[in-house]
């Protein structure tokens, strides 16, 4: 998999995932909505750790800077 997420994108996804998890475990978000958002938070964490977003690939989107892509190759 070719890296297609920049550092700012990864940090934003991590923060959103942490907020969703905190809201779920404090009981602010419950029920089906809570479970769906918790799964979404898990996906955000996974994609931020591997620096690859499968939804970006078909559209050719990349938030990586040119330097990050060159360093990887």
70 pLDDT band (50/70/90 cuts)? low
Cβ count near 25 (within 10 Å)? 11
C-alpha span between 25 and 29 (Å, rounded): 8
Q: What is the DSSP letter of 35?
A: H
Contact of 72 with 7, CB cutoff 8 Å: no
Q: What pLDDT band is residue 2 in, cutting at 50, 70 and 90?
A: confident
> Domain spans of the chain?
7-72
Tens of pLDDT, residues 11-53: 999 999 999 999 999 999 999 999 999 999 999 999 999 999 8
């Amino acid at each position: 998999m070719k890296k297609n997420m920049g550092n700012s994108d990864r940090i934003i996804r991590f923060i959103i995932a942490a907020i969703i998890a905190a809201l779920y475990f404090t009981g602010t978000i419950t029920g089906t909505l809570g479970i769906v958002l918790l799964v979404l938070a898990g996906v955000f964490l996974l994609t931020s750790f591997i620096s690859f977003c499968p939804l970006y690939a078909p559209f050719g989107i990349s938030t990586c800077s040119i330097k990050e892509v060159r360093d990887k190759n």
